[in-house]
Structure 1
Amino acid sequence: MISTLRAGLARGGIELKQTLTTPSDLSSYLIPALILFATIFFQRDAHVPGTSFSLGASTLPGVFGMGIAFGSLLTVAQLLTVEREDGTLLRAKATPNGMGGYLAGKAVLVGGMTVVSLLLQLVPGLFLVDGLRVSATGWFILLWLVPLGFLATMPLGAVLGSIFDNPRNMALVTLPIFGLVALSGIFYPITGFPGWLQAIGQVFPIYWLGLGMRSVFLPDSMALVELTHSWRHLETFGVLAIWTVVGLGLAPAVLRRMARRESGSAVAARRQRAMVTVNR
């Protein structure tokens, strides 16, 4: 077990170093950050309804939470589908304890990529956006919110990635997740939505990650525009913990089933379908 984790950590570290030294990959970190700050700039004169607080400053912490969910859900799912098609997953399956090391490596890679993206948004945001602050309590919240956010969403990303064996079908996952973001109060207070949409948004981790991040970076007075007029830290911890239990309970069985179905003929068939699609 220890050797498997050590191999996974080493693999993830190598892959993370590669992505951080590849120009095309670096652009995928920088461009979203630039788009985010451009959006906040154009929102500088807008205010959260019922307050004088900048809508842009209110949006930024929610985007931090959304970044954790996106990194864990979509990136993990995309990596699994792509590496099923190119045979990487089959090669991992063929080596002793290969699947364990593979999954540990992906956790390190995705976690590292997400943290880098967050830092590229967080550090400039603290200097460029008025109204953001982090108290000692806020740092404590971050210590449990970020790891719990990864645990609540990364297994779900693995489950989603195991469903599809064609990367071109990932739009079937991406579009609903964007819909959940719209319902989760990331870009606009959830209190502005009808009650039934509020209920749907609160079922999933994205809302709670956004709420938790807002509680870290926004003044306590901004809790008045949230549901129940509070930051609901206990509820945030509880919902994310429930999703962690669900994901960790479901993901291993789904991934084992996916690994059993991997074979040379299955990989060859997927490659053939991909070539046919490209040649059309």
Structure 2
Amino acid sequence: MIETLRVGIARGLIEFRHTLTNAQDLWGYFFPSLGLLIALFFIEDKKLPGTNLTLGASTLPSSIGMLVAFGGLITIAQYLIVDREDGTLLRAKATPHGMGGYLIGKVVGVGGMTLASILVVLVPGAFLVDGLLFDSGGLLTLLWLLPLALVATVPIGAAIGSFFDNPRSFGLVMLPIFGLVAISGIFYPITGMPGWLQGVAQVFPIYWLGLGMRSVFLPDAFAGVELTDSWRHFETFGVLAVWAVAGLALAPVLLRRMARRESGSVVAARRERAMNSMVR
């Protein structure tokens, strides 16, 4: 286990460095962050009804929670699908500590780039938006929220990625997640939505990550905008912990099953199909 962890961390740091020197990868990570900053610029002065809280101050922390969720759910799944098609996963399977090191490496690499994406939004966003607060209480919340967020989302992202072997089918993953973002109170308080949509949103981690991040960066007085007029830290921890346990139980089973079906002939067949589709 220690050797697998060492291999995975080393692999993740190498991938992180390579990403920082690849313009296409950097654009893929930072384009959503730049889009969020542009949106914040246009909504920074709009007030939430019945409060002195600006829509920008509410959206900025929520967007940070969304970026963490995207890193764990979408990016991990996308990497897994691409690496499965081009044979990277097969090579990892054939090396000592390969699969464990591969997954740990993805967590380290994607986690590092997710944190960089957050800084791209947070640092300039703090100058654009008034009303943010980051004190010792917020720091303590962030110290348990970020690790729990990664554990709650990365295994689920890996499990999702194990179902697909074609990057062109990735839209089947993206659309439901974007739908969840739309109903999870990221860009507008969930209290303005129908009750049944509120219930659906609270089943999934995106809502709770947005709520948790708002509790980190907004004064306690603004908790009145939320459901039950509180930040609900206990519920946030509980729901994310349930998703973490479910993901850690499900993902290894699905990944082992996927790895058993990988072979040189299967990878070659995928490449041939991809080439044929490009020719057509």
TM-score bin, normalised by smaller chain = over 0.9
Question: What one-letter code is carried by the residue in structure 2 that aligns with 1:215?
Answer: S
2:147 maps to amino acid: P
Per the alignment, residue 105 of structure 2 pairs with 105
2:225 equivalent to 1:225? yes
How far does the alpha carbon of each residue in 1:184-240 deviate from its partner, in whole angstroms, 9 at most, with x for none?
000010001110000000000000000000011112121111000100000000000
Which range is displaced more, 50-59 or 167-176? 50-59
Who is 2:10 aligned against?
10
Letter in 1 for 2:135: S
Q: In 1, Cα distance between the equivalents of 2:108 and 2:272? A: 31
Alignment of 1:14-53 (within 5 A): 14-53=14-53
Match of 2:64 in 1: 64
Which deviates the most, 222-231 or 42-51?
Answer: 42-51
Residues of 2 paired with 1:107 and 1:268: CA distance? 27
Cα deviation for residue 140 of structure 1 reads 0.1
| Structure 1 gaps, min length 5 | none
Q: Distance in 2 between matches of 1:100 and 1:45?
A: 47
Aligned-partner Cα distance in 2 for 1:105–1:215: 30
TM-score (norm. length: structure 2): 0.98
Q: Distance in 2 between matches of 1:123 and 1:66?
A: 16
Between 92-101 and 224-233, report the one with greater CA deviation: 92-101
Cα offset, 1:24, TM superposition: 2.3
Cα contact 1:223–1:229 (8 A) shared by 2: yes
Aligned structure 1 segments of 4 or more residues deviating by more than 4 angstroms:
none
Name whichever of 238-247 and 22-31 sits farther off. Answer: 22-31
Alignment pair present for 1:74 and 2:37: no
Per-residue deviation at 1:277?
1.4
Q: How does 1:229-268 map to 2 (within 5 A)?
A: 229-268=229-268
Q: Counterparts of 1:182 and 1:128 in 2: how far apart (Å)?
A: 23
Structure 2 partner of 1:155: 155
How far off is 1:127 after superposition? 2.6
| Mean Cα deviation higher: 38-47 or 233-242 | 38-47
Q: Does 2:201 align with 1:201? A: yes
Would the aligned equivalents of 1:126 and 1:133 in 2 still touch at CA under 8 Å?
A: no
2:75 and 2:222 map into 1 onto residues whose CA distance is: 32
* C-alpha contact 2:3 2:97 (8 A) present in aligned 1: no
Distance, in Å, in 2 between the alignment partners of 1:146 and 1:169 is: 29
The count of aligned residue pairs is 280
Aligned twin of 2:124: 124
Q: Distance in 2 between matches of 1:27 and 1:150?
A: 22
Q: Secondary structure at the match of 2:202?
A: helix
- Displacement after TM superposition at 1:128 (Å): 2.6
Identity across aligned pairs (percent)?
67
Give 5+ residue unaligned stretches, structure 2: none
